[in-house]
Every structure is written in C-alpha cells, then in structure tokens.
C-alpha cells in the first residue's frame, strides 16, 4: 500500500494550521507533487495572529491586526514559490458549511510544555480554532473537500507534529472530514516508519528554503536551519513520510470521541 500511495492521485489537499506550517512541515513534498503534475490545494485554518514576531523591522506588528495582513502576504509569496495556485481559509466559502455565515478562526496560541512540545494556552480567545466545536470545524473542512474533490488529504500526525492545539484541531477535523467524504487521509511523518512511504526530497531543498524566506515575520533562514521568533533552531528537512490512516481507524476514533463527548 505504501509504495502505491500516489498511484492514480491527480490532486491533493493539504490542511495546515497557520501560515508557514505548509512550508515547514511539507514544503519539500508540496514542491515534489507540483513537479510531478499533481494539483495541490492548501487549506489554512488561521492567520497566525498570535505568532511571536522576529525581532527587527516587523517587531511592531506583534499583537496587532496588521500581523494577520502581513502573514497573509508572506503566505502568498511562499505559495508562489512552491507552485500552489489554489488556497482557501477555513471558515470562508467554500471552506464553510452550507448556509453558515463566514467565520474567522483565530490563532489559539500555545505554551511550551517542555522542549519541543507545545500545549494549549490558557488565554485562547472565544473565537480561537482550538475552542471551536470539532463538529463545526469538521463540517467546514468537509464542505471544501466536497467542492474540490481531491484524491488525497494530507495533514499532521495525531500529535499535530509538536502538540500545538491548532495543529491537533485541524488534524482531527481533517481526518473526520475525510471519513465523511470517503477521501483517503495521510499523515505527515518526520521519520521513516515501516507502514509509511518515505520521500527523499533533498533535491527540493532550494525551493523549500526560498519559500521559507517569505515567512520573515516568524523565522529567519540561516544556511540549512531556520531560527524561529522565539530563538529555537530547527533543521530544514525537505524529506518527509506519509502514512495512510485507514477509514476504519478514523471511524473508530470518531465514535470514541463522540462517546466521550456525550458523557
């Protein structure tokens, strides 16, 4: 199954939480798929309003609505480099359930639980993504899937990559929307796994790095690394894994969540 993961795939939808996540987590893979002639659509859940800002000429944007505008601009530049021509914001039609007014999902913020692992912030706004009803978020993602009809949906693993509550929420919604619409779902992996397809993508490093440079409010590129606004250093890793999450597994997780919610 893993070897044939992309057989017959003509279009893919990536579901990410904030601007820059699409490049950090999957920039190499996006560039590879585009080069193969596969149509790539991106869904971004929030504008990353609560992201820390790199010290320098953009520092004054921290905590202001202007940061949202800047992050939208940065994302547009990165997507141009990666070759993505179709992008949607969660809560804005067609990524909004039919009959519902447009909704702006805000960045939920996060706190560091320990090195490399994030958790929910106590002061997330009432309209933050992580505080939204999972059923509502799922309905919005499903609406977009029914419109765009991708052959495959890709998002984070069940930990959201590193635990950010917005990553976890959009992953939860994406797997449930995939199950509802009958579209296969695959999760991104940082390391090879026996049940996953690993993509060696060093030949996409330049493209990924050029796209990362657009996200200057959030990170700075230094050689083969990025330094985040908080000072954390991270290697630029074009190569990624993809693991199909079987529909039966998605259904059982969905059922379990609904039982817990009912209790």
The CA distance from 13 to 154, in Å, is 6
Place of tokens 């990362």: 212
> Containing H/E element for 221?
strand 219-222
**Cis peptide bond N-terminal to 94, omega within 30:** yes
Q: Lowest mean pLDDT of 11-25, 71-85, 162-176, 240-254, name the range.
A: 240-254
User: 248 with 255: CB under 8 angstroms?
Assistant: no
Tell me the pLDDT tens digit for each residue of 23-81.
999 999 999 999 999 999 999 999 999 889 999 999 999 989 999 999 999 999 999 99
Q: How far is CA 120 from the centre of its chain?
A: 17
Say if strands 233-235 and 225-228 run parallel, antiparallel, or are unpaired.
Answer: antiparallel
207-228 pLDDT tens trace: 999 999 999 999 999 999 999 9
Name all domains of the chain by residue range, CATH numbers in brackets: 11-262 (3.40.50.10320)
- Cα distance between residue 32 and residue 200, in whole Å: 10
The CA distance from 12 to 127, in Å, is: 28
Over residues 74-90, the pLDDT tens digits come to: 999 999 999 999 999 99
pLDDT at residue 246, rounded to an integer = 83
- Give the pLDDT of residue 35: 98
Nearest to 71 by CA among 96, 40, 107, 42: 107
pLDDT band at 164 (very low <50, low <70, confident <90, very high): confident
How confident is the model over 101-160, as pLDDT tens digits?
999 999 987 665 566 666 667 777 888 899 999 999 999 999 999 999 999 999 999 988
Reported residue count of the chain is 263
Tell which residue, 163, 164, 153, has the closest CA to residue 187.
Answer: 153
Q: Render 88-144 in DSSP notation, one character per residue.
A: EETTSTTSS-TTPPP--PBP---EEEETTEEE--TT--TTBGGGS-HHHHHHHHHHH
């Amino acid at each position: 199954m893993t070897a044939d993961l992309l057989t017959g795939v003509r279009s893919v939808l990536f579901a990410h939480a904030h601007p820059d996540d699409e490049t950090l987590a999957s920039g190499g893979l996006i560039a590879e798929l585009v080069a193969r002639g596969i149509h790539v659509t991106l869904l971004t859940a929030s504008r990353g309003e609560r992201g820390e800002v790199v010290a320098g000429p953009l520092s004054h944007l921290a905590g202001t609505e202007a940061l949202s505008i800047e992050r939208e601009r940065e994302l547009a530049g990165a997507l141009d480099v990666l070759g993505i021509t179709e992008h949607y914001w969660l809560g804005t039609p067609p990524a909004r359930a039919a009959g519902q007014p447009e909704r702006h999902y805000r960045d939920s913020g996060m706190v560091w639980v320990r090195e490399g692992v994030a958790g929910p912030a106590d002061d997330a706004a009432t309209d933050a993504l992580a505080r939204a009803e999972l059923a509502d978020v799922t309905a919005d993602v499903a609406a977009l899937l029914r419109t765009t009809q991708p052959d495959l949906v890709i998002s984070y693993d069940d930990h959201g990559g590193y635990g950010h509550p917005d990553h976890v929420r959009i992953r939860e919604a994406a797997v449930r929307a995939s199950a509802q619409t009958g579209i296969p779902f695959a999760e991104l992996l940082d390391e090879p796994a026996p049940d996953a397809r690993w993509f060696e993508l060093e030949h996409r490093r330049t493209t990924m790095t050029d796209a990362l440079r657009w996200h200057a409010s959030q990170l700075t590129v230094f050689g083969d690394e990025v330094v985040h606004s908080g000072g954390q250093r991270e290697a630029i890793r074009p190569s990624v894994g993809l693991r199909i999450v079987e529909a039966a597994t998605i259904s059982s997780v969905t059922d379990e969540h609904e039982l817990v919610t009912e209790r």
